[in-house]
């Protein structure tokens, strides 16, 4: 099913709208998300499983892929792995059904550019797709696909989950490491406190945000960052944080 235009086999070169492949097996979700995306300025092709998603990506080279995790034939996670193994760097947003922190970390390590827990705010889906598109570096692999990320003196090995500032290895708790990974794969993006808490916990609205403040303090201490003149993590008052250094994938 294609909305936002007549059935086409390839994106119209003249159509400047970003092209989204949405893989979702639940017709109720697909039929409501497709018009939402179309109205928000995207061309959309809806497919019902992971294999169809791979086929659509090969055929139409979309700007972004939205993959549900639980799908028949081939689930979203395996589709993502196959995409990355075949060297396709199309940005991928996973629609997860799991709240487990380890599962979320895994999704990001497997090369997802972002993920969203169902049921999500429709406006949030649009915002995430736009953010992923802004981050995309045409012709170059996304930061989320890199094993090692570098920002100035800071180096993060995402596979072994170790980080160094110059020659000094950073001693971080597992949650601070997860947060650092998220910052480095989302540079120069305003990251809301709720979003960061979700990265850490899978919670939408936990009681208090002390857990986040403590992890930010831990990261700043390890990075010897000054909150008032941030070189790495800048505070956006009463909203959240932004990783301000430029990041490159190695």
Partner 1 sequence: MNRWRVLAVAAVPLLLGAVAALVIASAKHGLRLHLSVAIWLLALEAGVVLAVIAGAVAWHRGRVRQAGAAASATAQREGAERAQAEHRRFVSRLDHELKNPLTALRAALTNLAAGLRPGPERDSVAGVDAQVLRLVRVTSDLRRLAAVETAPLDAGMIQPESLLTELVDDAVDLARAVDPPVRVELDLPRRPWPLTPVWGDRDLLHLALLNVVGNAVKFSHPSGLVTVSARDDLGRNGAGWLTIEVTDTGVGVPPDELPLIWEELARGRAARGTPGSGIGLAMVRAIVSRHRGEVALRSVAGRGTVVVFRLPTGAPAPPAPPAGRQLPGVADQVHR
What string marks each residue from 169 to 188 as x (binds partner 1 by CB under 8 A) or -? Answer: ----xxx-------------
Tell the residue number behind the tokens 């390590």, with chain if given.
Answer: 109
Closer to partner 1 at the Cβ: 83 or 115? 115
Strands (DSSP E) contained in the chain are 2-3, 19-23, 43-47, 64-68, 92-96, 114-117, 148-151, 154-157, 162-165, 168-169, 191-192, 233-236, 240-243, 248-249
Beta-strand pair 64-68/19-23: parallel
Minimum CB–partner distance for residue 63 and partner 1 (Å): 21
By CB under 8 A, tell whether 33 contacts partner 1. yes
> Which region, judged by CB under 8 A, interacts with partner 1, from 137-145, 157-165, 199-207, 242-250?
199-207
Q: Following DSSP, what letter does each residue of 46-59 receive, concatenated?
A: EESSHHHHHHHHHH
> Which region, judged by CB under 8 A, interacts with partner 1, from 56-64, 112-120, 141-149, 234-242?
112-120
The C-alpha atoms of residue 228 and residue 21 are separated, in whole angstroms, by: 42
* Among residues 9, 10, 28, 87, the one that binds partner 1 under rule CB under 8 A: 28
Which residues lie near partner 1 (CB under 8 A)?
A: 26, 28-29, 31-33, 35-36, 39, 97, 99-102, 117-123, 173-175, 201-208, 210-211, 214
């Amino acid at each position: 099913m294609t909305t936002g235009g007549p059935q086409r086999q390839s994106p119209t070169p003249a159509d400047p709208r970003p092209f989204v492949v949405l893989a979702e097996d639940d017709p109720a979700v697909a039929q409501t998300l497709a018009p939402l995306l179309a109205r928000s300025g995207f061309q959309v092709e809806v497919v019902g499983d992971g294999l169809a998603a791979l086929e659509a990506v090969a055929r139409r080279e979309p700007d972004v892929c939205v993959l549900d995790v639980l799908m028949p034939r081939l689930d979203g996670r395996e589709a993502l792995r196959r995409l990355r193994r075949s060297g396709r760097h199309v940005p991928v947003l996973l629609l997860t059904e799991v709240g487990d922190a380890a599962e979320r970390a895994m999704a990001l390590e497997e090369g997802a550019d972002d993920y969203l827990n169902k049921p999500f705010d429709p406006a949030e889906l649009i915002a995430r797709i736009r953010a992923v598109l802004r981050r995309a570096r045409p012709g170059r692999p996304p930061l989320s696909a890199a094993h090692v990320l570098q920002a100035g003196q800071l180096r993060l090995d995402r596979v072994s989950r170790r980080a160094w500032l110059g020659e000094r290895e950073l001693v971080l708790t597992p949650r601070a490491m997860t947060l650092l990974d998220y910052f480095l794969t989302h540079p120069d993006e305003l990251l809301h406190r709720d979003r960061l808490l979700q990265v850490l916990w899978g919670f939408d609205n936990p009681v208090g945000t002390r857990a986040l403040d403590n992890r930010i303090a831990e990261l700043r201490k390890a990075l010897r960052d000054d909150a008032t003149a941030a070189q790495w993590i800048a505070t956006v008052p009463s909203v959240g944080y932004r990783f301000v250094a430029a990041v490159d994938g190695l």
